[in-house]
Amino acid sequence: MKTRWYKDAVIYQIYPRSFCDSNGDGIGDLQGIISKLDYIKSLGVDAVWLSPIYKSPNDDNGYDISDYRDIQEDFGTLDDFKELVKGLHDRGLKLIMDLVVNHTSDEHMWFKESRKSKDNPYRDYYFWRKGKSDKKPPNNWMSNFVGPAWEYDKTTDEYYLHLFSKKQPDLNWDNPKVRQEVIDICNYWFELGVDGFRCDVITYISKEKGLPDGSFKEFFSSMPLLGFTHYCMGPNYHKYIHELNLHAFSKYDTMTVGEASGITYKDAFESIDENVQELDSVFTFEHVSADMILQVFPKKLNFVKFKKILTHWQELPKTSQPTMFLENHDQPRSWPRFVNYCWDNKEKAAKMLLVAMQMQRGTPYIYEGQEIGMTNVNFKVEDYKDILTTNVFKKVGNNKLLMKFAQKVFLKRARDHARTPMQWDDTKNAGFTSGEPWMMVNPNYTEVNVKQSEKDPNSILNFYKKFLAFRKGKDVIISGDYIPYYEKNKKLFVYNRKLKDKAYFVICNFVNKDVKFKLPKDMKFASAKVAISNYEDGEIGALESRIIKPFEATVYEVQY
Ligand code: GLC
Ligand code: CA
């Protein structure tokens, strides 16, 4: 039944609110996506991952779901959805949906029932607890969106748990009825033709028994949040996911990828190994934290650490599938972030980042707009929409100094940088909408847009297409060994991908300068020729000993 098609698939992520608006209300929608299917196909990707499109009051842009079986009105109807599935499948593209089941919206029927009384049949779908005697929440856990993770509800004089906003109450997975609901939801969408799920904050679903207080040690764990170690990869995580796999994921030819912040290498492997039947892959976040302190404050990219992390995940046994990404809807834009904010030579740098990531083993992801080099925005305080940012501003707003600091941090890190409307052309609002966009368009759309990129043979976009076509179907890339070189080098990212007597040798220069390169001594081969590069053939020297050009990415095909 399982073909493991994701082993040679590139996945394109769409943030539906910001992709394309078909009816002029300023909000992207399903018909908008349908109108761009040929564009998506032209990239050479294999599947689309849609951020949530279910009914939602939009406290966290759809990551707060009030009905798992229907489509948010802003986005369209179930009929539009069916048309989208058909449009994708007709073009040979798969569809991955976002499965957000660590929590629901507080406007979901289950929660509305659950808050009514202590003996309501839905009460145990969530975590309701008495406060501590001194009018304090049941424990000291902190929400990922600022403040305590508990909200007091006077109807029953108890608190409920919410690891995200107070409009996102956490589901109690220890209740078998909750787990059955999730299974049913998955099967409902599989029956409608969905090919897989990206599982939102899946590592948080099993909470430690007794919900013990967090300790200050956690500020030095992988996430600086009180309580984190008591809900991340909790005691029943593996059991619950296995159950979901048996009763839903394994019944269709699906793929799953779990959002797995805080997961250890061992747990990751134990969850994605082909023999355990849990998930097919996970997103891990250490590499996108290599330019941060405590996951929050930006600093210079630690390039050697960045390579080391990526290499570590490449070493996962071949019976498990790594993932590669630099952008998503929670991350700032990757260029020029990962070249230490060097604003020059953009085209070369953005193409180099693509090669550096995607020549690795695993399933690569591209986030909408990444393929044309969309960038962070110079937001003013009032431009931000994201609940995380606006909550922080509310919290520190009275303190001028803290406010200034927060603004500085968000100019680099805010999630909103990834959420500005897709830049289609240079007409008003970048061709995203004929109305007023729900969120500001990056003013650079007059230069950075799809139409312009399609015309320019040297554009980032055209290189993406060329590279994805090159990548497709190559055994060496799909399953070859990954052998890193020059691991301590502060400028070059060098690795070899080898399978039997064939290899791709990858050299990427992360600085905008010439860098001397000598072939590692143990590299002996019969021949090497350039397979793909972001420079012209004539500009590249022989492999043995050469100068690597500014932001160059060259892949040599090696024969042993
Ligand atoms: C995940 C999503 C993020 C969302 C959060 C809560 O981290 O990627 O956008 O805010 O979960 O659902
Ligand atoms: Ca619309």
CA of 149 to the centre of ligand 2 (A): 34
**502-527: pLDDT as tens digits:** 999 999 999 999 999 999 988 889 99
Q: How confident is the model at residue 223 (pLDDT cuts 50, 70, 90)?
A: confident
The closest of 349, 329, 336 to 420, measured between CA atoms, is 329
Atom of ligand 1 nearest to the CA of 164: 6
Mean pLDDT to the nearest integer, 46-75: 98
Question: Is pLDDT at 126 greater than 80 in this prediction?
Answer: yes
pLDDT of residue 220: 76
Specify the pLDDT at position 164.
98
Strand partners for 492: 509
Query: 404-420 in b/e burial notation, b at 16+ Cβ within 10 A?
Result: eebbebbebbbbbbbbb
User: Which tens digits make up the pLDDT trace of 70-112?
Assistant: 999 999 999 999 999 999 999 999 999 999 999 999 999 999 9
Model pLDDT for residues 275-307, shown as the tens digit of each residue: 999 999 999 999 999 999 888 899 999 999 999
DSSP letter for 220, please: G
The whole-number average pLDDT for the span 135-143 is 95
SS (H, E, C) 306-345: HHHHHHHHHCCCCCCCCEECCCCCCCCCCCCHHHCCCCCC
Instruction: Give the per-residue pLDDT at 319.
Output: 96
Upper half-sphere CA count for residue 35 (Cβ side, 13 Å): 15
pLDDT value at 537 more than 90: no
Average pLDDT over residues 428-438: 98
Closest ligand, as measured to the CA of 74? 2
Task: Evaluate if residue 222 carries a pLDDT over 80.
Answer: no
Domain 479-559 in CATH 3.30.960.10: no
Q: What average pLDDT does range 1-25 have in this prediction?
A: 96
Ligand nearest to the CA of 325: 1
Tell me which fold the domain 109-161 belongs to: Oligo-1,6-glucosidase; domain 2 (3.90.400)
To which CATH superfamily is domain 8-103+176-469 assigned? Glycosidases (3.20.20.80)
Q: How many Å lie between the centroid of ligand 2 and the Cα of residue 85?
A: 18
Question: How high is the pLDDT of residue 135?
Answer: 87
Distance CA(267)–CA(260), nearest Å, equals 10
For ligand 1, pick from 49, 53, 63 the residue to mutate: most ligand atoms within 8 Å of CB: 63
Query: What mean pLDDT do residues 535-558 have?
Result: 91
How much is the average pLDDT of 153-166?
Answer: 98
Is any atom of ligand 1 closer than 6 Å to the C-beta of 201?
A: yes
pLDDT at site 541: 77
Q: Which amino acid is at 174?
A: D
Which residues are the active-site residues?
200, 259
Run of H or E residues at 151: strand 150-153
**Test site for ligand 1: of 165, 200, 259, most ligand atoms within 8 A of the Cβ:** 200
Per-residue pLDDT tens digits for 19-40: 999 999 999 999 999 999 999 9
Name the pLDDT band for 12 (thresholds 50, 70, 90): very high
Atom 12 of ligand 1, residue of closest alpha carbon:
63
Q: How far apart are CA 70 and CA 105, in angstroms?
A: 14
For residue 545, list its beta bridge partners: 518
Closest CA to 252 of 186, 190, 181, 208: 190
Task: Tell me the CA distances in angstroms from 89 to 34, 134, 434, 473, 531, one per residue in order.
Answer: 12, 58, 29, 19, 31
Specify the pLDDT at position 63. 98
Confidence label for 134 from pLDDT (cuts 50, 70 and 90): confident
Q: Which ligand is nearest to the CA of 29?
A: 2
Q: How confident is the model at residue 133 (pLDDT cuts 50, 70, 90)?
A: confident
- Atom nearest to 145 CA in ligand 1: 10
Q: Is 59 in the pocket of ligand 1 (CB under 6 A)?
A: no
Q: How far apart are CA 300 and CA 397, in angstroms?
A: 27
Nearby residues of 413 by Cβ (< 8 Å), 6 or more positions away:
292, 296, 298, 332
- pLDDT over 80 (residue 489): yes
Say how many Å lie between the CA of residue 58 and the centre of ligand 2. Answer: 15
Calculate what percentage of the chain has a pLDDT beyond 90.
Answer: 93
- Our answer on whether the CB atom of 325 is closer than 6 Å to any ligand 1 atom is no
Instruction: Tell me the percentage of the chain whose pLDDT exceeds 70.
Output: 100
HSE toward the beta carbon, residue 421, CA cutoff 13 A: 29
Mean pLDDT of 543-559: 93
Ligand 1 neighbourhood includes 60 CB (under 6 angstroms): yes
Dist. CA 429 → ligand 2 center (Å): 14
Going by pLDDT thresholds of 50, 70 and 90, the confidence category of residue 552 is: very high
Amino acid identity of 467?
Answer: F
**Ligand 1 within 6 A of CB of 63:** yes
Q: Distance of CA 434 to CAs 179, 236, 336, 536, Å?
A: 43, 49, 30, 40
- For residue 19, give the ligand nearest its CA: 2
Q: Which of 257, 289, 330, 416 to mutate to test the pocket of ligand 1 (most atoms within 8 A of CB)?
A: 330
* Segment (H or E) for 197: strand 196-199
pLDDT given at position 542: 81
CA of 31 to the centre of ligand 2 (A): 8
Per-residue pLDDT band for 221 (boundaries 50, 70, 90) equals: confident
Domain ranges of the chain: 8-103+176-469, 109-161, 479-559
- pLDDT at residue 421 greater than cutoff 80: yes
Q: Is the CB of 164 under 6 A from ligand 1?
A: yes
The pLDDT, as a whole number, for residue 437 is 98
Per-residue model confidence (pLDDT) at position 416: 98
Using a 6 Å cutoff on CB, does residue 418 contact ligand 1? no
Closest to 560 in 3D by CA, of 512, 486, 490, 504: 504
Is residue 386 within 6 Å of ligand 1 at its C-beta?
no
Cα(461) to ligand 1 centroid in Å equals: 28
DSSP labels for 338-389?
GGTT--SSHHHHHHHHHHHHHTSSSEEEEETTGGGT-------GGG---HHH
Ligand 1 atom at shortest distance from the alpha carbon of 329: 9
- For the Cβ of 205 lying below 6 angstroms from any atom of ligand 1, the answer is no
Structure tokens at 454: 């399609």
The SS3 of residue 280 is coil
For residue 224, the model assigns a pLDDT of 84
Give the pairing type, strands 515-518 and 297-298.
Answer: unpaired
* Reported confidence tier of residue 540, pLDDT bands at 50, 70, 90: confident
**Which residue has the CA at smallest separation from atom 7 of ligand 1?**
201
For residue 507, count other CB atoms closer than 10 A to its CB.
Answer: 26
- HEC secondary structure over 24-91: CCCCCCHHHHHHCHHHHHHHCCCEEEECCCEECCCCCCCCCCCEEEEECCCCCCHHHHHHHHHHHHHC
- 385 within 8 A of 421, measured Cβ to Cβ: no
CA nearest to 70, candidates 59, 56, 49, 84 = 56
Return the SS3 of 268.
helix
Residue 423: the pLDDT is: 99
Distance 200 CA to ligand 1 centre (A): 6
Cα–Cα distances in angstroms (integers) from residue 497 to residues 262, 474, 555, 556, in the given order: 28, 11, 10, 10
Whole-Å CA distances, 148 to 2, 137, 229: 43, 8, 16
Ligand 1 atom nearest to 328, measured from its CA: 8
